[in-house]
A and B are shown apart, each in its own frame.
Chain A
Amino acid sequence: MGLRGDACIVGYSEWASERPALRAPRQSLAQWADLAAEALADAGIEAGEVDGLVCTEVFESRAFVPATIAEYCGWSVNLAERVDLGGATPVGMVWRAAAAIELGICDVVVMAVPADPTPTSPVPRPFDDRMLFGASSNAWGSPQAEFDIPYGNVAQNCGFAMYAQRYHDQYGWDERARAKIVADQRVSANANPAAIFHDVPATIDDVLGSRMIADPLHLLEIVMPCSGGAAVVLCSAERAARTRHRPVHVAGFGERLTHKTPTYAPDLPHTPVAAAAHSAFSMAGVAPADVDMVQIYDCYSITALLTIEDSGFCAKGQAQAFVNDHGLSFRGDFPCNTHGGQLGFGQSGLAGGMSHVVEAVRQVQGRAGDRQLGRHDTAYVTGTGGVMSEQSALVLRGAR
């Protein structure tokens, strides 16, 4: 069951993280077209070959987004998907495209996530209450609006902090292990010119000395929002043989959703990562120990800690010891988020999740420059949406 592993990621585009934004504001449709053109050029595929697209949202349209993008870019597509999985969206986009390609529906699929600023509208835009409530909905009738938001339980800081609190209560307190994830990844960010923290080192003590935001999470354990954007191109293995770089096969995937708000999570601090990871590894026919790198969603330190553990790299409850025993930078024995992770690279909206996919492809293709890994054939990639509530996982494998 599952993918044969025929579909390949063959090109990408990624804009450097910026805060404050330096690139000029553009319409998000324009950014979509730019990202797509750059990723197609990277792959060596003509725009006219595109017959599938996967998208998230654009500022200019509330609905009918795929059709608007297809029209804007001049494509006739057989796959038109919009994915709504928060931080798990980019990983979810990749496997949906791979599945569609294996079904023979389409041959070349583009997916872009623009996250640079858009120009100020000459007419006022309606108030967007996501400015206040983030990933929680304050609309009347929303369970979050009625039972969670009035108590201050607004996504995301306090939700992830509650995961951390319960995890440590059950499995022991080692704050330095959480901080080490940030510090090790920062070593990789310091080797990545596109990272928001490319020139700012951070030690374990720096992390633990930073301001407490939501006990037990400190400021430096939380991603820095920034602008950016990324895209990837997938195609069939046949078409991939005539592209510019090493094709990266989508060998396995998994996805699992269980809840929206941690209060109602069925098995906290066990996460849906476990089911998604199990599916991805078994579909690819590899074990966690077989992968050369992990590029895992890290909106918070605790996200990465829980993901390492529930993906099966160590036993339940052992992630803190595992992190202490391994080097997580690109120089270490457990390369984890070699672009710096979102904690070091920055989180450019939904494109933050795409940074893990792009870095996996970059490493597998041998294009990571100063931080290139010696062994780079197989990568494990995850996306986390909501508060450990929407989980997607991929196993990617370079063509032989």
Chain B
Amino acid sequence: MSNQQSNRFFFNVDWITILIYVALCTIGFVNIYASIPTQSDSSVFNFSSNYGKQLIYILAGLVLGFSILLLEAKFFSVFSPIVYGITVLLLIMVLIVGRKVAGNQAWISIGGGFRLQPAEFAKFGTALLLSRYISSFSPKFRDFKSILFAALIIGTPLFFIMMQPDAGSALVFLSFMFPMYREGLSGYFLLIFLGMIVLFVADFLVPMAVLIPIILAIGGFFIYQNRRKQKVMFSAILVTFVAIAYLFLVKVAYEKVLKPHQRTRIELILGLKMDPRGVGYNVIQSKIAIGSGQLTGRGFLQGTQTKYGYVPAQSTDFIFSTVGEEWGFVGCFVVIGLYLFLLLRLINLAERQRSTFSRVYGYCVACILFFHVFINIGMAIGIVPVIGIPLPFISYGGSSLWSFTVLLFIFLKLDSNRMGFI
């Protein structure tokens, strides 16, 4: 690489994003350090502890990230099918040789006490191939074939993830709908998904005998309104019947397919059960910890709920409760503000790309991060069911940190090369 090239490279890389990345990793480290129940050896360089390990992960992540910046931008587009293939293979492998953790077969041991979670890496594999598909074939998702093809790309890893089963990671795959929407997928798809979620919730809160007449009434109203426009009227009839069928399907699926603990989680989140020391315990303790932070928090290492182990999975899935307790609303505001700024910036960066591949990939990155942030924080404050997915860059764990790093830095590399053609 020539001098000129490297100058251009440093000039073109979006340092603001890297700054936010470093800030979030630092916040993560600080809060993981605070989450260790008893500090017998509180040296930062105690590498047998979680925070010691996280320090290694962060440093390794930085090396990984900057190595990606040194790769050729073309590489990602060209090798995307291969990367995708490898991640799918890993997902299959994990089903065969993986270790069971908390009921889910999600981990592959790679020696030295370190483990890999292939589902994390499947996200950017899928993102790369989806971007490649859209940039190569320019589908506008107006036809069934292109939607089916995209669904296949997303659905394959999704299928294996659901086999583990890992509901959290599977849910994140919904985020790929947004890049497709940006590239032409009808907004109705998003609305249908929204409608499905509303109906799903309503299914638990309102008895069938009330719900069905309401749907029939609304449906009837639209059918009557559009009685002269035959085509619209038929789709209204179709939607009404599909909605009712969906309600029954959800009920059956809920009772037959979901595991009991998943069922109770859903019931808890919908406020159907009060159970302070049972399944809802995690969320209640997390809410207590966050709520006790009040406006300005208890201060670094002063969080009693954190320190005395009241919140389970404190350094991984519920790391946000430490932020909430020790740094208060102000701290939460800063963290959510940083994420929002990052997400908005990623969308802006994506839109300035000349290549479709880079743009689609940028949207993928932003939306995957968005899903993680929304679900994780939502879960910690009790507005989303407990589905264990990490908070990007902050939660403890090498797999998640590295996969997010790779995800983000690939886009930064693409962005730094936005003037060139891929």
Say whether A and B bind each other: no
List residues of B whose CB falls within 8 A of some A CB. Answer: none
List residues of A whose CB falls within 8 A of some B CB. Answer: none
